[in-house]
C-alpha cells in the first residue's frame, strides 16, 4: 500500500460511514421497540393478531434482505408507493430486523418462569407493570446474546444498500476500485467493518455484564 494513495481514498470511503451508521442506528432504534410489541402480540390470546404476526415474521425472515430492498425500491412504485433510496433502505431494514427481534423477544419472555407472573399478580401489579418491572428486565438478560449476533449482522448487512447505490462504505469502496483499478479500497472497507464489529461486541459484553445480576 502506498501511504499517499491510502490517505487520498480514505476520506471518500469514510464519508460512507455516516450513511452506514445512520442506517444502523435508525434500524436499531425502531426495530427493537417494534420487535418487543410484536413479541407481546404473538403471546396474546387474540388469534387473528397471532396469525398476522406469524405470517409477518415468516415472510421477512424467510426471504432475502436484498430481495426485500429491491421490492421496496423498485417494486412498490408499481403499487403506487414510491420511496427514495434512503427511505427504502430505512423501511426495509426496520421491518426485516423487527421480525428477527420479534422471535428473539418472544423466546426470551417465554423463558421466564410462570411463577414470576403469579408473584406480580399477588402484589397487585397490572400486566403492563409486570412486563415493565419484572418480565422484560429478566428477559433482557436472556435475549442479549442473540441480539448481539443480530447487531453484528446488521452492521454487515448495511453493505447491501450498495445495491441501491446508497453511498455507504461498500458503495464508496466499489466506486474507488472501479475508478483506480486498485483493490486497496476493499481492504480499507473491510477494516472499517471489523472496527465496528469489535465495538459492537464490546458494547454487548458490557450489557451482558450489567444484566448478569438477574442470574444470581
Given a contact cutoff of 8 angstroms between Cβ atoms, the answer to whether 204 and 133 are in contact is no
Extract the C-alpha cell encoding 44: 396474546
Count of domains observed in the chain: 1
Residue 214 — very low, low, confident or very high, per pLDDT cuts 50/70/90?
low
Q: pTM of the entire structure?
A: 0.91
CATH assignment at residue 29: 1.10.3720.10
What average pLDDT does the structure give for the chain? 93
Domain of residue 127 covers 3-215
pLDDT at residue 215 greater than cutoff 60: no
Residue 76 region, left (φ>0) first, then alpha (ψ -120 to 50), else beta? alpha
pLDDT digits (tens, 9 = 90+) for 32-77: 999 999 999 999 889 999 999 999 999 999 999 999 999 999 999 9
Extract the C-alpha cell encoding 9: 481514498
Instruction: Work out the average pLDDT over 74-89.
Output: 95
Instruction: Work out the average pLDDT over 168-173.
Output: 97
- For 82, counting Cβ atoms within 10 Å of its Cβ (0-12 exposed, 13-18 middle, 19+ buried), the class is exposed
Task: Give residue 122's pLDDT.
Answer: 83
- For 138, counting Cβ atoms within 10 Å of its Cβ (0-12 exposed, 13-18 middle, 19+ buried), the class is middle
How many of the other CB atoms lie within 10 Å of CB of 75? 13
**CA separation for the pair 106, 202 (Å, rounded):** 25
Task: Give residue 116's pLDDT.
Answer: 82
**CA separation for the pair 181, 186 (Å, rounded):** 11
Amino acid at each position: 500500500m502506498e501511504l499517499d494513495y491510502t490517505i487520498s481514498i480514505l476520506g471518500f470511503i469514510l464519508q460512507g460511514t455516516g450513511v452506514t451508521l445512520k442506517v444502523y442506528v435508525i434500524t436499531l432504534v425502531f426495530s427493537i421497540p417494534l420487535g418487543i410489541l410484536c413479541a407481546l402480540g404473538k403471546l396474546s390470546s387474540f388469534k387473528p393478531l397471532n396469525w398476522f404476526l406469524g405470517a409477518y415474521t415468516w415472510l421477512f425472515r424467510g426471504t432475502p434482505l436484498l430481495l426485500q430492498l429491491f421490492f421496496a425500491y423498485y417494486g412498490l412504485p408499481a403499487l403506487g408507493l414510491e420511496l427514495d433510496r434512503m427511505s427504502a433502505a430505512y423501511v426495509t431494514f426496520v421491518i426485516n430486523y423487527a421480525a428477527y427481534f420479534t422471535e428473539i423477544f418472544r423466546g426470551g419472555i417465554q423463558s421466564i418462569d410462570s411463577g414470576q407472573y403469579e408473584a406480580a399478580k399477588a402484589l397487585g401489579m397490572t400486566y403492563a407493570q409486570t412486563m415493565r418491572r419484572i418480565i422484560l428486565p429478566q428477559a433482557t438478560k436472556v435475549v442479549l446474546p442473540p441480539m448481539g449476533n443480530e447487531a453484528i449482522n446488521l452492521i454487515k448487512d448495511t453493505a447491501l444498500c450498495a445495491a441501491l447505490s446508497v453511498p455507504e462504505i461498500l458503495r464508496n469502496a466499489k466506486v474507488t476500485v472501479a475508478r483506480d483499478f486498485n483493490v486497496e479500497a476493499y481492504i480499507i472497507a473491510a477494516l472499517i467493518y471489523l472496527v465496528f464489529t469489535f465495538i459492537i461486541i464490546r458494547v454487548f459484553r458490557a450489557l451482558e455484564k450489567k444484566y448478569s445480576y438477574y442470574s444470581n
